[in-house]
Amino acid sequence: MEEFDIQTVLTLGFAIAVVITIIKTARVVPQKSNFVIERLGKYSRTLDSGFHILIPFIDKVAYTHSLKEEVIDVERQTCVTRDNIQVGINGVLYLQVVDPHKASYGINDYRYASSQLAQTTMRSVIGQTDLDKTFEERAKINEEVVKALDEAASPWGIKVLRYEISDIELPLSIKDALEQQMRAERERRAAIAKSEGERQAMINVSEGQKQEVINLSEGDKMRQINEAEGRAREIELIAIATAEGIRQIAEAINHPGGSEAVSLRVAEQYVKEFGNLAKTNNTMIVPAELANIGGAVAGLTEILKIARPGAK
């Protein structure tokens, strides 16, 4: 019975030793991870993802590193701007291990060191920037912090990918002043927009009045042109009618009995106009040749004969 108990203990001990040996010997490295191996307390090699065999009790996994991008919250810190305004700034730092050997032996805690370095760099950058620029140039400030951090973290095997300012906290008095400034700016823009609208309205009204005057003048011009063309046409038609009448009279004179008819017509008109003259005037001057009406008519008849085509 005692021999059985000793054998059982030895068997269990041997099994435990085998299990420990297997655990110490076989290692599986996950994807996007690296194991730093030390042999007898000295750096030996870096294991990539996959299955690896170690020498039991001689090799050991000293450090494990994830090659994924890490996010580190940078605690709130008080910074003083170039115009002596205190602001509280929170940030977020994104970094990645690119050299596990340097990350293991280059610094004790690269996460803590990166966070502290980000705070000091941010204080330095904010100290060179006015308060207004901290809101307007966040991207530029982030770039400067990343540049400074990346240069400092290079010996640690760390790559600083980016830094983002998550929040900027201002003193209450500065908030009130900024709100008043923004309110004044909005009122100024509203006043400018209103004046621009009124100015545009006045321009539109004046343009409309100008176009109205132009249209009225154009209409008056066309009216005058039409009236002038109408009068010219009227004169032309009268002249044509007069010429046609004279032509017909001339043709009538050339016909047999035309001269006697003209003489009779002239005598009638002469007597008629003399009668009208007697009706409109109390005092009348009688020409000496009045008694010789027939002689006047005969003279006119003689003139018509001379003007007649073919007269000798």
Over residues 25-50, the pLDDT tens digits come to: 778 888 989 999 998 889 889 988 88
The pair of structure tokens assigned to 295 is 């002689």
Percentage of the chain beyond pLDDT 90 is 7
Output the CA angle 9-12-17, nearest 5 degrees: 125
Calculate ∠ Cα 36-39-42, nearest 5°: 80
Answer whether residue 225 shows pLDDT above 70. Answer: yes
71 within 8 A of 96, measured Cβ to Cβ: no
Report pLDDT digits (tens) over 38-97.
988 898 899 888 888 888 778 888 898 999 999 998 888 888 888 888 888 888 999 999
Both tokens of 29, joined, read 């490295």
pLDDT at 128 over 90: no
The answer to whether the beta carbons of residues 134 and 168 sit under 8 Å apart is yes
Alpha-helix runs per DSSP H in 100-165 = 100-105, 110-126, 131-136, 138-153
CB of 104 closer than 8 Å to CB of 36: yes
Say what the alpha-carbon torsion angle 130, 134, 139, 141 is, to the nearest 10 degrees. Answer: 60
Count H helices, E strands: the chain? 8, 8
For 181-243, give the DSSP string. Answer: HHHHHHHHHHHHHHHHHHHHHHHHHHHHHHHHHHHHHHHHHHHHHHHHHHHHHHHHHHHHHHH
**Residue environment code for 235-264, b if the CB has 16+ CB neighbours within 10 A, otherwise e:** eeeeeeeeeeeeeeeeeebeeeebbeebbe
Distance CA 117, CA 210 (A): 70
Query: What pLDDT is stored for residue 28 in this prediction?
Result: 84
* Residue 53: strand pairing partners: 26
SS3 at position 74 = strand
Other beta carbons within 10 angstroms of residue 170's beta carbon come to 17
Percent of the chain with pLDDT over 70: 79
Predicted TM-score (pTM) above 0.75: no
For the record, the structure tokens of 72 come out as: 């580190």
